[in-house]
Amino acid sequence: MANVAQPRSQSSVPEGVAGALPASNRSAVRRLWPALTLLAWIAVAALCGCSNEPAPRDTHNAISESGDISSFFYQMLLWLDVAIGAIVIAAWGYALVRFKRATGDDTLPAQNHGDAKLELIWTAIPTVIVIAITVPMLVGVFRLAKRPDQNQQTIEIDVTGKQWWWEFQYKSGTANGLHTANEVHVQAGTAVVMNMTSSDVIHAWWVPRLTGKRDATPGRSYPLYFSAREPGIYDGQCAELCGASHALMGTKLFVHPPAKEVEVEYNGAKVKLDSYETWVKEQLAPAAAPAGADMERGAKLFKDKTCPTCHIVKGLEGAESASPSMTTGPNLTHVGSRMTIAANTLPNTADNLAKWILDPQAVKPGAKMTKIAMTPDEAKAIAAFLTSLK
């Protein structure tokens, strides 16, 4: 027998432990360690809070009622969780300090196996809490799933997620037939119905300040209802892993004022927002004819380089397609009016456009737009033409 265990009395500390551990009480640091752990958490938590980095996509600074519902539950559960967590951690920390074995104390603590009454209590209380949080939650679920009143004026938009951009087709009211990409425009105070779908893999459309995300699943349509309160420009992003450039599948939501134009703040700068109807009118109009020789060259190059096989420019002869859904790339009729290109990836400047046209995959890994051979000068000309499509 290799290991001979020593006979010993009930109270003696086993030799292994005694050998491995220094006598328990010596160092003050050791007594403090639970407190130190707590401190570490608090420090990290504080660090997060203290960074005065702005949070332009704060999920709890909502601009719609459905966003408020999520935030409401967050607040509710946050306080509940903090309370429960505090109780558990406080009891735990207290026990660690209070019920530490004193040096030389070799007696055994009470050998009780449990306490039915206590156990019943700490089963019952969580049960009550669970019921208490479940009931309002159920109300919330059905509230969010409620379609806006049929009689009410609504903006209905079919949203199609594609690798790696968003297609928007307006289905109702004055905007009927409007076809655009990546940047979606709605009117403050008006109910919006978005029908999410996809034509390749699953995406999820998410503008954190607006409301929660909804999956855009191929072969399925999933409605999102909301009504945005505050005019402004809000960033968002695809939230479901959809391939190489999932990280670069952004979107922008523009909430226009109902009547006259207003000034909103975006990223620290002041931006003017037209009324929704003005925007609609501009977007429904065909593209302006190329003005001047430079623009004509750009437009010609656009067609020569086979761009219209994938892109529509309504009003430009040879770049129109019968049906918008026949296109594989974003509608470019008013691409110049967009704030960004390539799904919120680059600011919409002539330089960026040229850079994108020259080598889309360099901007976005795996981008589904073919890289077409051309000189930088040609790209610049096309870019200039596209910029003019306001």
Q: Which of the choices ligand CUA, ligand HEA, another protein, none does residue 284 contact, using the CB cut-off of 5 to 8 A by kind?
A: none
Q: Which of 129, 141, 244, 259 binds ligand HEA (CB under 6 A)?
A: 129
CA 196 – CA 230 distance, rounded (Å): 23
Q: Which of the choices ligand HEC, ligand HEA, another protein, none does residue 318 contact, using the CB cut-off of 5 to 8 A by kind?
A: none
Q: How near is the Cβ of 75 to ligand HEA at its closest, in Å?
A: 15
User: By C-beta, is 192 or 358 nearer to ligand HEC?
Assistant: 358
Residues 63/234, Cβ–Cβ less than 8 Å: yes
The H or E element that residue 37 is part of is: helix 28-50
Specify the length of the chain in residues: 390
Instruction: Write the CA distances from 145 to 139, 140, 151, 179, integer angstroms.
Output: 10, 9, 18, 26
Q: Can residue 95 be called a binding residue for ligand HEA (CB under 6 A)?
A: no
Strands 183-187 and 250-256: parallel
Q: How near is the Cβ of 361 to ligand HEA at its closest, in Å?
A: 21
Q: How near is the Cβ of 384 to ligand HEA at its closest, in Å?
A: 38
The 251-280 contact track toward ligand CUA, x by CB under 6 A, reads ------------------------------
CA 39 – CA 89 distance, rounded (Å): 12
Q: Can residue 88 be called a binding residue for ligand HEA (CB under 6 A)?
A: yes
Strands 165-170 and 154-162: antiparallel
The H or E element that residue 95 is part of is: helix 65-98
DSSP state of 323: -
In the range 315-344, which residues lie near ligand HEC by CB under 6 A? 328-330, 332, 335, 338, 341-343
Q: How near is the Cβ of 382 to ligand HEC at its closest, in Å?
A: 5
According to DSSP, the residues that pair with 227 across neighbouring strands are 191
CA 299 – CA 378 distance, rounded (Å): 11
User: By C-beta, is 28 or 293 nearer to another protein?
Assistant: 28
Q: Which of 31, 229, 300, 368 binds ligand HEC (CB under 6 A)?
A: 368
Residues that bind ligand HEC (CB under 6 A): 164-165, 181-182, 302, 305-307, 309-311, 328-330, 332, 335, 338, 341-343, 353, 357, 364, 367-370, 372, 382, 386
